[in-house]
Amino acid sequence: MPSVVDRLLNVAANVPDAPAVVEDLRVFSYAELAERAAAFAGIFAQGPRRRVLIVAEKGFQAYAAMFGSLMAGATYAPVAVDATQLRLQTISASFEPDTIVAHPALAASLTPPIDARIIAPDEKLVSQAPDSRSPDDIAYVIFTSGSTGAPKGVAVPRTGLDHYVDWIGPAMGLAPGDRMSQHPNIGFDLSVLDIYGALCHGAALHPFIDRGSRLLPARKVQNDRITVWNSVPSVLSIMETARELDAAHLESVRLFTFCGEVLRRDHVAKLFAARPDAIVLNTYGPTEATVAMTCRRFTVDDWDRACSTSAPFGEAIGDMRLDLVGGDDGDEGEIVISGPQLARFYWNDPALTAEKFRDHTLPDGRVVKAFFTGDYARRSEGDTYFLGRRDDMVKVRGHRMHVGAVSQALEKIGWPTAVAFEKGGQLFAAVERVQGRTFDQAEVIAELSGLLESYSVPSEIRCFDAMPKNQNDKIDGAKVRAMFESGSTR
C-alpha cells in the first residue's frame, strides 16, 4: 500500500503543473507543494525528538508542513490558529515539539521548550541534508477536548493514515479535475479527509480561510465551483439559515460527505431537492479510528427508505471492523472498533489508553485490540443507526433512557436542531428557532407526549435563536446547558 508521501510525489511527478491548493490570491501547483514539503522536511528531520507543532491557518503552508513532517519521519500535531492561549500552551507543554511552525509572536506565547526552533509558515528555508533515522510510527497527534475539556492527544499511526487514504480514492472517486472543499480547521481531524484525500489523488484543495467563506460557505462553493464537499452536518444548517442550501449555490457539487455528527433526515432531503443527481456519503468514526471507519452511500432513489429521523452510517470500510456489545440484544450496543486505523495510544496518558483500548473477543474466538467508543448504535434492516453516547444514558423517574430519543422526537415534530439533557433527575431540552414558525412550549410538550413515554417528556423546553457551536462547528452541549441555566436565548 503506497504511503501518503509516495502518493503526493507520484501526483507531483505526473501532473506537476496541476493546481494543488487554490487560495483566494494564489494557486499553488503540485510541483510547488512537493518542493515546499521537502524544504520543511529537511528542517524537521534535524530535531532530536522530531516533533512538529503546526499552529497555522489552513492553506498551502500548513499542508506542506504536514507532508514535510511525514517526509522527515517526524510526528506532527496540528492546532487551529484561533485556539485559546491556554489550549495552545497546554498542548505545547504536553507534546514538547522541537520545531514549531507558527508566526513568531504566536509561537512565543506558547512557552515552547527551550530547544524548540520556530519557523514562520512562509519563511524561506535553506535545504538540509536528509535524516537517516527510521521514521516514527506515529504520523500525527490530534488533541481533542474530551469529556473534561482538557486536551487529549490521540496518536494516529502512519499505517492507519495510509489505510484510510487508500480507501478514500475509490470510495469518493477523487481525481485531477475535482475541486474539494477544506472547511474544518486543521486541528479537527475531519480536515485529514480533505487534505490527504485531495492531495494524494490529484484534486485541487480549496481552503475556506476567511471568516466570510466560513460563515457563508455555499457562496464559496458556488464561486469556486466545488465538486466535492466535506463537513460536519451542522454546516448545512448554516447554509439553510442563509437560504443558500439550494441548486443555485450547490450546482457544481457531485459528492457530499459528512462525519462528526448525526446527519439529519431533513438535511438529506434538502440536499437531494437541490442536487438530485449528486451522491451523499454518511460516515462514522471517532478520532481514535483515523477520522472515519464506516460509510453509507445514498442516491436520490434510496435515501428516503433508509433514513429515519437520521441517516444510517453504514458498515466498516476496508479491513476495519465494527461490533455492537453490551446491549439488550445483538443488534444494539456500544460500538467497539478494531482494525488497522486504530490509534496507538493517548499521548502521555497510559491510564486512559488502558481504559479505552482493550482486548476484544470476536465471534470466531480471536482476541484483538479494540477501541471501546462509548457510542451506542442499533442495526435495523441491514443499516446501522447512531443512538447516542453512553454518557447520554440517564435515569429518569426510575427508567433508563437515552436523551437522544428526546432530540429525535423533537426532530420528528419539526424542530430539527435540538439538544436534550438531564439534571437533578429531570429532563430539559432546547431547540433552535425555525424560520417562519412560532415556538409554543405547551404545544411542543403536548406533541412530544404523543411520541414518548411520559417519563421521557422534558419538564421544560426553550427556544434559542441559534445553537452555540464549538471550534469544529459542532453543537456545544456544555454551552447549551449554560445558556439554559442563565436564561439566555442567544
Which whole number is the average pLDDT over 186-205? 97
Nearest CA to 166 among 136, 200, 191? 200
28 shares its domain with 151: yes
Helix (H, G, I), strand (E, B) or coil at 198: helix
298 shares its domain with 171: yes
What is the C-alpha to C-alpha distance for residues 69 and 100, in angstroms, rounded to an integer? 11
Q: What is the CATH number of the domain that holds 189?
A: 3.40.50.12780
274 shares its domain with 417: no
Q: Is the dihedral of CA 145, 115, 156, 210 positive or negative?
A: positive
151 falls in which pLDDT band (50, 70, 90)? confident
59 shares its domain with 186: yes
350 within a domain of the structure (yes/no): no
405 shares its domain with 295: no
358 within a domain of the structure (yes/no): no
* Residue that wins the pLDDT comparison between 484 and 146: 484
Of the residues 263, 289, 306, the one at which a domain ends:
306
Looking at the DSSP assignment, which residues form a beta bridge with residue 388? 376
130 falls in which pLDDT band (50, 70, 90)? low
What pLDDT, on a 0 to 100 scale, did the predictor assign at position 353?
A: 96
46 within a domain of the structure (yes/no): yes
What is the C-alpha to C-alpha distance for residues 285 and 1, in angstroms, rounded to an integer? 22
Total structural domains within the chain: 2
138 within a domain of the structure (yes/no): yes
What is the C-alpha to C-alpha distance for residues 244 and 261, in angstroms, rounded to an integer? 21
What is the C-alpha to C-alpha distance for residues 222 and 422, in angstroms, rounded to an integer? 42
This prediction's pTM: 0.84
Which cell numbers hold the place of 157? 499511526
The amino acid at 483 = M
Which cell numbers hold the place of 239? 447554509
* Residue that wins the pLDDT comparison between 361 and 405: 361
Torsion of CA 158, 164, 167, 173, to 10 degrees: -110
Which whole number is the average pLDDT over 116-132? 80
300 shares its domain with 403: no
The residue segments making up the domain with residue 441 are 397-486
Number of neighbours of residue 18 by Cβ within 10 angstroms: 17
Which whole number is the average pLDDT over 230-237? 92
116 shares its domain with 258: yes
Which whole number is the average pLDDT over 36-46? 94
- Angle at the Cα of 194 from the Cα atoms of 188 and 196, rounded to 5 degrees: 105
326 within a domain of the structure (yes/no): no
401 shares its domain with 302: no
The string of pLDDT tens digits covering residues 364-404 is 999 999 999 999 899 988 899 998 777 666 767 655 677 77
360 within a domain of the structure (yes/no): no
Share of the chain above pLDDT 90, in %: 63
19 falls in which pLDDT band (50, 70, 90)? very high
Q: What is the CATH number of the domain that holds 436?
A: 3.30.300.30
302 shares its domain with 414: no
Residues 6+ apart with CB under 8 A from 34: 8, 9, 12, 67
What pLDDT, on a 0 to 100 scale, did the predictor assign at position 367?
A: 95
The 3 state secondary structure assigned to 123-186 is CCCCCCCCCCCCCCCEEEEEEECCCCCCCEEEEEEHHHHHHHHHHHHHHHCCCCCCEEEECCCC
- Answer yes or no: are the C-beta atoms of 97 and 52 closer than 8 Å: yes
Nearest CA to 475 among 434, 445, 432? 432
Of the residues 306, 325, 349, the one at which a domain ends:
306
Residues 6+ apart with CB under 8 A from 134: 73
The string of pLDDT tens digits covering residues 69-110 is 999 999 999 999 988 888 899 999 999 999 999 998 888 788
405 shares its domain with 297: no
Helix (H, G, I), strand (E, B) or coil at 226: coil
Which cell numbers hold the place of 483? 445558556
Helix (H, G, I), strand (E, B) or coil at 426: strand
Mean pLDDT of the residues in the chain: 90
What is the C-alpha to C-alpha distance for residues 328 and 323, in angstroms, rounded to an integer? 14
Number of neighbours of residue 299 by Cβ within 10 angstroms: 12
What is the C-alpha to C-alpha distance for residues 458 and 474, in angstroms, rounded to an integer? 23
47-61, 157-171, 432-446: the lowest-pLDDT one = 432-446
Residues 6+ apart with CB under 8 A from 276: 300
Any idea which residue has 535553506 for its cell? 126
What pLDDT, on a 0 to 100 scale, did the predictor assign at position 147?
A: 47
The string of pLDDT tens digits covering residues 415-446 is 888 888 887 777 888 988 888 888 988 888 88
Cβ burial of 142 (10 Å; 0-12, 13-18, 19+) is buried
236 within a domain of the structure (yes/no): yes
271 shares its domain with 414: no
What's the distance, CA 368 to chain centroid?
Answer: 26
Q: Is the dihedral of CA 193, 194, 198, 199 positive or negative?
A: negative
332 within a domain of the structure (yes/no): no
What pLDDT, on a 0 to 100 scale, did the predictor assign at position 281?
A: 98
Of the residues 272, 306, 340, the one at which a domain ends:
306
